Amino acid sequence: VQLQASGGGLVQAGGSLRLSCAASGRTVSSYVVAWFRQAPGKEREYVASVFRSGGRTYYADSVKGRFAISRDNAKNTVYLQMNSLKPEDTAVYYCAADPSVIFSSQAMAAQYDYWGQGTLVTVSS
């Protein structure tokens, strides 16, 4: 599967953005799809994921209640709606996919074989 992330940009604190992760080559519903982010000088961190069966969603504590991950099977795309953005949300956001990720390891970047190119989100204070 090939992944194409888009939708990043510059937004003021408190604003919203929606990121898109368009998949090609395979059906995205066959994969666990996650969003990770990496701020300058920091390690890549897990943000959210949506599972292949039933589409159950999970979130990092830092974004719970503000971000929402969703999947549109018809468009073969996964979205990350980001609301109430904070300056500390500034990072390059990556989408990742893998057909074999299990619940206990979904937050581990090394478990994902397929990655998009990243899209930059900058939140100004």
- Residue 54 in this model has a pLDDT that exceeds 90: no
Mean pLDDT estimate for the chain: 96
- Of 62 and 55, which is predicted with more confidence? 62
Q: Collapsing DSSP states into helix, strand and coil, what is residue 18?
A: strand
Residues 6/120, Cβ–Cβ less than 8 Å = no
Region 76-97: what's the mean pLDDT? 98
Q: How far apart are CA 15 and CA 105, in angstroms?
A: 31
CB atoms within 10 A of CB 12: 10
Region 93-97: what's the mean pLDDT? 98
Residues 124/108, Cβ–Cβ less than 8 Å = no
Please report the pLDDT score of residue 19 as a whole number.
Answer: 98
Please report the pLDDT score of residue 112 as a whole number.
Answer: 97
- Residue 93 in this model has a pLDDT that exceeds 90: yes
Region 86-115: what's the mean pLDDT? 96
- Residue 26 in this model has a pLDDT that exceeds 80: yes
Region 1-10: what's the mean pLDDT? 97
Please report the pLDDT score of residue 36 as a whole number.
Answer: 98
DSSP, residue by residue, 28-94: GGGSEEEEEEE-TTS--EEEEEE-SSTT-EEE-TTTTTTEEEEEETTTTEEEEEE-S--GGG-EEEE
- Residue 55 in this model has a pLDDT that exceeds 90: no
